[in-house]
Amino acid sequence: MIDQENELRALLSAGLAGSATEYRRFLERLGPHLRAYFKGKLVRSGRAAPEAEDLVQETLMAVHTRRHTYDTGQPVTPWLYAIARYKLIDHLRRTQASFADVPVEDAGELIAQDDHGAVESTLDVERLLARLPAKMRQAVRSMKIEGLSVTEAAARSGMSESAIKVSVHRGLKAMAVIAGGKRK
């Protein structure tokens, strides 16, 4: 999984730096991952797996048009799967999926009238994270956004597990203070 992340990240970074060959390889490598993701989600919701191919193509187009938003200092897979997830939700809305056919974890998002709130929330979180010191920001991002375990976050950052826990705690507390408009 880490090798896959590193490969996709390197290919996309090279593509963003101007290598058309590496960018094409990135998109080719991405296709099978997206296909498996969509087939799994659609089958679980009782929908036809052939719809997955349309979703793969839509997602590849979205990745292409939004590639400038990718931060090369961050892992690529959370960024990619966020785009894929929104494409799936949009597809289910368009096809008027009934809530009985949708996996429980996706149902709440279908209820929303639009995803402006989600986009604004993401931007708000990014603004809050940007105000944290680098190590604290990395710890919060790793554990709370990317979902890494304490051990994984510690290994990635080179910090001890205790330091990661403290950084996450302090980072979340600082973000709450900043968001609330209060002074420390």
Domain ranges for the chain: 1-112, 121-184
Res. 118: pLDDT tops 70: no
Number of Cβ within a 10 Å radius of residue 36: 12
Q: Hunting for tokens 């797996």 — which residue is that?
A: 49
Whole-model pTM: value is: 0.52
Domain range 1-112, CATH architecture: Orthogonal Bundle (1.10)
Long-range contact pairs involving 51-57 (C-beta distance under 8 Å, separation at least 24): 51/91, 51/95, 54/91, 55/84, 55/87, 55/88, 55/91, 56/31
Fold topology of 121-184: Arc Repressor Mutant, subunit A (1.10.10)
Range name among 92-96, 100-104, 137-141 with the lowest pLDDT average = 100-104
Number of Cβ within a 10 Å radius of residue 173: 11
Q: In which region does residue 110 sit, left (phi positive, over 0), alpha (psi from -120 to 50) or beta (all else)?
A: alpha
Average pLDDT of every residue of the chain? 80
Range name among 51-60, 88-97, 137-146, 172-181 with the lowest pLDDT average = 88-97
**How buried is residue 163: exposed, middle or buried, by Cβ count under 10 Å (0-12/13-18/19+)?**
middle
pLDDT at 93: 79
Q: What angle do CA 23, 57, 60 make, to 5 degrees?
A: 30
Number of Cβ within a 10 Å radius of residue 87: 22
Q: How far apart are the first and last CA of the chain?
A: 40
Cβ neighbors of 75 (< 8 A, separation 6 or more) are 5, 9, 146
